[in-house]
Amino acid sequence: MIVVVSDRPDRSRPLVEAIGAVAECRVVGTDETWERIGPFRGVIADITLSRPEAKRCLRRLATRPGRRSTPLICLTRGSGQGAFTEARNLGATLCLSALAEPRMVVGSLVREIWPDKSVADLVVTREAQRAGTLMSTLFAAAQTGTVDMPSVEQGIAPVLDAIHEGGLSRWLDEVWAYDDVTFQHCLLVSGTAAAFAQSLGLSMTDRQLLTRAALVHDVGKSRIPHAILNKPGRLDDDERAVMQTHAPIGHEILSASGGCDAVTLAVTRHHHEMLDGSGYPDGLCADEIGDPVRLLTICDIYAALIERRPYKTPMTTSEALSILSGMEGKLEGGLVQAFGRAVQGAP
């Protein structure tokens, strides 16, 4: 956690929002005693140091056990060397102008606390954690009831922000750490879909739409027995039949939840349909399958091929793309080629 000491919370809001992208952030006033506040990694003082209450606050901070190992960045508003000297005397490990861009302040904070990390690394980690928490809540609710669709919206920005900030490769590295197979898969598909949509130059509205659909496309798996869902190796015919019910079950859950858009409903039910009619659950073919479903189906198959499980060695990008290219007639060739360019060129 990062603590921001502020005597003007309204003025500090852009800074707090920037910090929130990389770490949990708590705002306190100059009356903070530092006695009951929990552990934190660093402090940023966005206060007018000439005020007596500001000085008292930082002096109290200096007496906190372990303070010497905690960076204190002071944003100074005075001119000349005197302001920096005053901040140093109050325990500042780094002084920056209060006029500095919030992103620059966050960059300095990261270098002070996590010298082996970049801002992009921390953004991706933070956003993956947020999306993972959402997935956990969503699937728990779907096991016995419906999904709160407005809460799903909270998972869209973390995925898009992480892909924009750190690229697909960083997102995949973070998501691969998830033990839960379904959560890992949904987050892999979401990040891959966001990167693909970005590569295609789709509008922000369409990127949000596809990311939303990717997040919930497998919600029906919440009602599939764990013995089948997490079975190592191939499923037998009966188990496969049960597994294939996740698509219509997911569609049913989202329909009952209300407020779900048509694209998300279509993706959830039809992401296993193939252009040649060999897919499930409805055996759709060709023009019966819309563009968003075609796009998400490619992302879904790719994610399944590169998943990391204890009993399965993941395919490399080139191996997975080779499989996709070999599915001629089942997947749209032009989209597969565009997808290959997107993931091979991903940072």
pLDDT for position 65: 76
Share of the chain above pLDDT 90, in %: 54
* Between 173 and 263, residue with greater pLDDT: 263
**Which pLDDT score, from 0 to 100, does residue 49 have?**
86
pLDDT attached to residue 64: 82
Max mean pLDDT among 7-11, 182-186, 209-213 falls in 209-213
- Look at residue 80 and tell me whether its pLDDT is greater than 70: no
Give the mean model confidence (pLDDT) for residues 209-228.
94
The predicted structure's pLDDT at residue 165 = 84
Q: Is the peptide bond before 281 cis (omega within 30 degrees of 0)?
A: yes
pLDDT of residue 307: 87
d(CA 335, CA 142): 32
The least confident of 76-80, 158-162, 259-263 is: 76-80
Q: Would you kindly state where each structural domain of the chain is located, as residue ranges?
A: 2-113, 119-344
- Report the pLDDT value the prediction gives residue 35, as an integer from 0 to 100: 84
pLDDT of residue 126: 85
Lowest mean pLDDT across 8-12, 175-179, 293-297: 175-179
Query: Any idea which of 147-151, 174-178, 276-280 has the lowest mean pLDDT?
Result: 174-178
HSE on the CB side for 76, CA within 13 Å?
19
DSSP helix/strand/coil, 6:
strand
| SS3 per-residue string spanning 156-209 | HHHHHHHHHHHHHHHHHHHHCCCCCHHHHHHHHHHHHHHHHHHHCCCCHHHHHH
Burial of 116 from C-beta contacts in 10 A (0-12 / 13-18 / 19+): exposed
| Same fold: 2-113 with 119-344 | no
One DSSP character per residue, 195-263 reads HHHHHTT--HHHHHHHHHHHHHTTGGGGGS-HHHHT-SS---HHHHHHHTTHHHHHHHHHHHH----HH
Q: pLDDT digits over 228-267, tens only? A: 988 888 899 999 999 999 999 999 999 999 989 999 999 9
Q: What tokens appear for 259 in the block?
A: 């407020």
Rounded to 5 degrees, φ, ψ at 121 are: -60, -45
Q: What pLDDT was estimated at residue 79? A: 64
The amino acid at 194: A
Query: Tens of pLDDT along 40-72?
Result: 889 999 998 888 999 999 998 988 876 667 889
Mean pLDDT computed over 168-193: 86
pLDDT at 346: 66
Q: Which fold has domain 119-344?
A: Hypothetical protein af1432 (1.10.3210)
The C-alpha angle 215, 216, 218, rounded to 5 degrees, equals 110
Nearest to 76 by CA among 64, 92, 52: 92
pLDDT one-digit tens code per residue, 108-126: 998 988 888 888 888 888 8
- Say what the pLDDT of residue 83 is: 76
pLDDT value at residue 176? 83
Mean pLDDT score of the chain? 90
- Architecture of 2-113 per CATH? 3-Layer(aba) Sandwich (3.40)
Q: What average pLDDT does range 197-220 have in this prediction?
A: 94
